[in-house]
């Protein structure tokens, strides 16, 4: 297993690690959607990559919560507005999956994110502050009537931070395919979308799953193609105060960082919106509810879950395609334990 791991790591890129591309791949890395994005495609010319980057910026201009020129910013700033078909599609799907996950995924937690401001002011919110804001974070505050979307209160802030990157990553793969690329991989900070294979010797791509306890390392990899792998973890965006970690994924029930026992989760789906939204939702739900949710088969996805106490769980459909490194560290003294 060790040799395999070394070979894999040597061949890998960074972040969620993606394996073994040959020299005929062209890549472009840029910053958009609040993260570093890398687009790689085999035999791609510079124009294709440039256009894919422009396409990404187009989606950012629709879904960004912070960009003052974006469509979502305009909707959040007004209490009622007519929205584009693309924004409407995202709103409808986000609100539907919110209901279907019993609000573990909640696209109206923008004001709670702002209160904690995990990457800025790093504020440990008090119970009083949370109680004041939480009533405005209910998806029920938003009404859809045709293309018109309205919020009952200006304090409600719609946020697609948990689903727009996975959705866009897959859209960019589709764009690359439509423009002639057969083999491609895009990495949107925590969301990797792939098509074809990384080289002719592989049946797809190897997407590494980061070790949330030792983030320069991976615990194994998933072999897949025509899929998006989305990761949610407490190590991605967080701050520490008085020895406690406060991360960026919130539980609607408490208005505080979710404390479900999951340290990180990778969700794999042929739909990038689903993989991204569910990685966040299942992170909030915890292992037991997540596996129960999976068994209902309402959505087509698979998952690899790592718990805070060092266990690794997988859903049934990924067992054959997930390769676990049995020397993946949990802490200095012990290894992660793979639960079969
Ligand atoms: P992800 O890294 O995909 O899990 O998304 C995390 C981001 O989604 C956060 O930075 C917030 O912008 C937003 N968010 C936080 N908690 C939730 C939640 N429970 N449901 C939906 N979005 C959330
Ligand atoms: Mg997500």
Instruction: For residue 189, give Cα distances in angstroms to 151, 200, 263, 315.
Output: 30, 26, 17, 23
Report the chain's C-alpha Rg in angstroms. 20
Percent of the chain with pLDDT over 90: 85
pLDDT tens for residues 113-149? 999 999 999 999 999 999 999 999 999 999 999 999 9
Give the chain's end-to-end CA distance (angstroms, integer): 17
DSSP helix/strand/coil, 164: helix
- Residue 332 binned pLDDT confidence (cut-offs 50, 70, 90): confident
Q: Which residues line ligand 1 (CB under 6 A)?
A: 105-107, 109, 113, 159, 161-162, 190, 232, 236, 248-250, 252, 276, 279-280, 284
Q: What is the pLDDT of residue 203?
A: 84
Q: What is the mean pLDDT of residues 28-53?
A: 94
Q: What is the pLDDT of residue 13?
A: 37
Between β-strands 244-247 and 238-241, what pairing exists: parallel, antiparallel or unpaired? antiparallel
C-alpha of residue 277 to centroid of ligand 2, in Å:
4
Q: What is the mean pLDDT of residues 14-25?
A: 58
Q: What is the mean pLDDT of residues 148-172?
A: 96
Q: What is the pLDDT of residue 18?
A: 58
pLDDT tens for residues 61-71? 999 999 999 99
Q: What is the pLDDT of residue 333?
A: 80
Q: Rounded to two decimals, what is the model's pTM?
A: 0.94
Q: What is the pLDDT of residue 12?
A: 41
C-alpha of residue 190 to centroid of ligand 2, in Å:
8
C-alpha of residue 11 to centroid of ligand 1, in Å:
31
Q: How does 111-146 read in b/e, with b if 16+ C-beta sit within 10 Å? A: bbbbbbebeeeeeebeeeebeebbebbbbebbeeee
Helical spans, DSSP H, in the chain = 2-11, 46-63, 71-77, 85-100, 110-116, 127-133, 164-178, 272-285, 287-295
């Amino acid at each position: 297993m060790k040799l395999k791991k070394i070979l894999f790591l040597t061949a890998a890129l960074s972040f969620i690690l993606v394996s073994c591309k040959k020299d005929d791949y062209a890549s472009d890395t840029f910053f958009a959607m609040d993260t570093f994005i890398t687009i790689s495609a085999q035999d791609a010319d510079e124009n294709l990559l440039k256009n894919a980057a422009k396409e990404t910026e187009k989606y950012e201009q629709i879904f960004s919560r912070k960009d003052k020129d974006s469509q979502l910013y305009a909707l959040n700033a007004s209490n009622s507005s007519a929205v584009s078909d693309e924004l409407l599609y995202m709103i409808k799907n986000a609100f539907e999956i919110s209901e279907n996950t019993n609000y573990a995924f909640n696209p109206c937690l923008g004001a709670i994110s702002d209160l904690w401001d995990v990457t800025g002011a790093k504020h440990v919110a008090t119970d009083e502050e949370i109680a004041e804001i939480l009533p405005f974070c209910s998806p029920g505050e938003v009404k859809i009537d045709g293309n018109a979307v309205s919020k009952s209160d200006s304090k409600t802030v719609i946020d697609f931070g948990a689903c727009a990157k996975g959705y866009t990553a897959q859209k960019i793969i589709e764009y690359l395919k439509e423009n002639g690329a057969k083999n491609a991989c895009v990495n949107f900070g925590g969301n990797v979308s792939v098509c074809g294979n990384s080289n002719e010797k592989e049946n797809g791509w190897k997407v590494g799953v980061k070790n949330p306890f030792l983030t320069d390392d991976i615990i194994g990899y998933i072999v897949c193609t025509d899929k998006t792998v989305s990761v949610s973890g407490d190590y991605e965006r967080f701050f520490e105060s008085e020895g406690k970690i406060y991360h960026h994924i919130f539980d609607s029930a408490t208005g505080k960082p979710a404390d479900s026992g999951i340290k990180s989760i990778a969700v794999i789906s042929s739909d990038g919106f689903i993989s991204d939204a569910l990685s966040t939702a299942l992170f909030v739900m915890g292992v037991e509810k997540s596996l129960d949710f999976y068994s209902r088969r309402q959505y087509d996805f698979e998952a690899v879950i790592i718990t805070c106490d060092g266990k690794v769980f997988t859903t049934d459909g990924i067992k054959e395609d997930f390769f676990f490194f049995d020397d993946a560290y949990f802490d200095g003294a012990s290894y992660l334990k793979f639960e079969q």
